[in-house]
Amino acid sequence: MQDPTPSRLSRPLRIFYLEDNPLIVFHVEQMVEDLGHIFVGSADSFTQLQDIFKDLEVDGVLVDIDLKDGPTGPQAAAWLKERGIDSVFVTGQEQVAAAHGNVSLATLGKPVLEAQLGEKLELFRT
Amino acid sequence: MTKNTASLFDHVLILAPYRRDAEYLAHLLGQYEVHCEIGSSTDDLSGLLANAPAVLMATHEALTPVVISSVAEHVRSQPDWSEIPIVVLLDRASNDGRVRTQLERAWPRSRLLFYRRPVTTVELLSGVQSALLARHRQRDVRDHIEREVELRRELNHRVKNILASVSSIFEMTRRNATSVEALADDFRGRLNALDKVHSAVFKAETDNISLEDVATITLEPYRSTMGHRIVFGGPPVMLMAETGTSLALCLHELATNASKYGALSAPGGSVSFVWSTTGGPLPELALEWQESGGPLVETPAQAGYGTRYVRAALGGILGTKPVFHFEPQGLRVTAEGPLSRISAAT
């Protein structure tokens, strides 16, 4: 069998998800994997993200607005940006996300559809 | 002067420019513990009104056009729940009807009380006190409205969350379904589990639910037909509502799986679900689902919805992924993590 040249485009992305609803985490995790990427893990609050951040190796983070510790998603995205990590908001509150558009690459509405998720994840390739 | 101690809705603002009227009134009301602020000059009247007096008291001579329009501005800018009581002390010789008409027109949405001087202490005090009481009621209405706005926001958030959950359940069920009938059955079962745990949390009138209750309501349908074949128990553990919901859905998946393919699919099979906690400053919770007496277990080639959900949900709840032991004599699922992640303060 021929060994394909590793292509930049086909490299799987390492994705982390900041979301406090386990069902949605579960759903998105499956979609991320079905799209051929690696689901690194999830956290349910900004606080928890900060706790585990040092061990994180990711290409991008999906961020919900409302988390277990309040509407801390935008703060989390800004915090990640300071550390050179890109994020995409995944939320039903598109307006709130739009108001914080400077800290994330894009916004993905809920419910999440696989095709749209796939498109947004490609934004993490830098 | 009492100026610096005036705070929102707790004082009477007195406008009485002549002689020592204002001080006299403040002293009189002060004896009955009615807190007063004296507006000695009309220059900063809007500032004084911004302190939100509970009641405004004005003598006839205080009512210059400037004062009337300042108060009018204050009255106009009141929030919906507010209707400031204004006590007007009229002169002996003033034209009552005319002043009344003028002020009612200038200050709509105020509660005007008129007294003709000289007024007895008893009369004035009872008027002021009933005005203060009315003001307190208005403030209660304000608090009520604020609470309602807060509740509506919270409700909206929760409804959106539930819809997102249901949507995810549907999508994931659809992905794993082999037929429309299977899709319908699985989806119905999952919605049912979600519904029951929601009702249980609602009935408890708190945002908590005990682990025992989660197990009881979720495993109840199986126990009613299979009785002692399902046992569960452990020490009291209170869970936050969301954690309880996730756990209920996990138990639902495990129980459904057991009744379709596992220990509960065979006549003699049984399931035990037990949990335990450790002591110390950082107590841990351990969960164990153990099946026995069912058909011989083989490690599945591919994980289905149930396994994947339990893995993701318990992993999210406890911080560590659960372990599925596909032991030939029966499936065993174990999970553990810090109690602080899941438990509600009891």
Annotated domain spans of chain B? 12-143, 198-341
Contact flag A20-B309 (C-beta cutoff 8 Å): no
Strand partners for B325: B332
Task: Give the mean pLDDT of B208-221.
Answer: 92
Chain B nearest CA to A2, separation (Å): 27
pTM, two decimal places: 0.73
Question: What is d(CA B141, CA B80) in angstroms, rounded to the nearest whole number?
Answer: 10
Q: Quick check: B242 contacting A, CB < 8 Å?
A: yes
Contact assignment for B242 to A23 by CB distance below 8 Å: no
Q: Is the ipTM of this structure higher than 0.95? A: no
* Spans of all domains in chain A: 14-125
SS3 of residue B99 by DSSP:
helix
Q: CA dihedral defined by B260, B264, B269, B271, rounded to 10 degrees?
A: 120
Which H or E run includes B97? helix B96-106
Contact B168/A at CB under 8 A: yes
**B113-120 mean pLDDT:** 90
pLDDT digit string (tens) for B39-90?
877 678 888 898 889 999 999 989 999 999 999 999 999 999 999 999 999 9
Greater confidence (A61 vs B177) lies with A61
Amino acid (one-letter) located at A76: A
Q: Which residues of B162-192 are buried (b: 16+ CB within 10 A; e: fewer)?
A: eebbbbbbbbbbebbbeeeeebeebbebbee
Enter the DSSP assignment of B35. Answer: -
Say if residue A1's pLDDT is above 90. Answer: no
A89's CB contacts (< 8 A; 6+ apart) are A62, A63, A64, A65, A73, A77, A97, A100, A104, A106, A107, A108
Phi/psi at B281 (nearest 5 deg)? Answer: -70, -25
Token pair in block for residue B175:
């992905």
Give residue A9's pLDDT band: very low, low, confident or very high (50, 70, 90).
low
Q: In whole angstroms, what is the distance from residue B183 CA to residue B166 CA?
A: 14
Task: Specify the length of chain A in residues.
Answer: 126
- Alpha carbon distances (Å) from B344 to A43, A95, A102, B241, B285: 18, 32, 36, 9, 13
* pLDDT above 90 (res B317): no
- CATH fold for the domain made of B12-143: Rossmann fold (3.40.50)
Average pLDDT, chain B: 89
The separation between the first and the last C-alpha atoms of chain B, rounded to the nearest angstrom, is 50
Residue B176, pLDDT score: 83
Lowest mean pLDDT among A41-45, B110-114, B256-260, B327-331: A41-45
CATH superfamily, domain B198-341, is: Histidine kinase-like ATPase, C-terminal domain (3.30.565.10)
* Two domains, one topology: B12-143 and B198-341: no
For residue A23, the distance in angstroms to the closest alpha carbon of chain B comes to: 6
A14-125 CATH: 3.40.50.2300
Which residue of A lies nearest to B170 if distances are taken between CA atoms? A27
- Residue contact B249–A21, C-beta within 8 A: no
Residue B3 has pLDDT above 50, yes or no: no
Report pLDDT for B238. Answer: 93
Is B284:B278 a contact under the CB 8 Å cutoff? yes
Q: Work out the pLDDT band at B159, boundaries 50, 70, 90.
A: confident
